[in-house]
Amino acid sequence: METCSAAGEPAAADDLCLEQSMKCSHCQEPGATLGCYNKGCSFRYHYPCAIDADCLLNEENFSVRCPKHKNKMVKGSLSTEQSERG
């Protein structure tokens, strides 16, 4: 098995490796790069899985909210998102 981290590699390579190892909350396969925008939520998805799982996808600011947290945002309220994310 190949390891992700090697001495001298840039931090971006470590970030990419971490994203590739993250399991999708919907299909349980690795490579989930979309995380729920709600602070403290660990749900992550592939883009097609986020759609299948009925997540809220906000294309204006490229955020995703899992089904559990999608109703916590007041529609169109940027200040709500900023205060929740921290």
Mean pLDDT by 10 residues, the chain (86 residues): 51 58 94 95 97 95 94 57 50
Distance between CA atoms of residues 60 and 53, nearest Å: 20
Q: Write down the pLDDT at residue 10.
A: 59
3-state secondary structure of 44: strand
pTM here is 0.64
Distance between CA atoms of residues 71 and 55, nearest Å: 10
Distance between CA atoms of residues 79 and 9, nearest Å: 38
What does the domain layout of the chain look like in residue ranges? 36-73
Q: Write down the pLDDT at residue 72.
A: 79
Q: Write down the pLDDT at residue 70.
A: 93
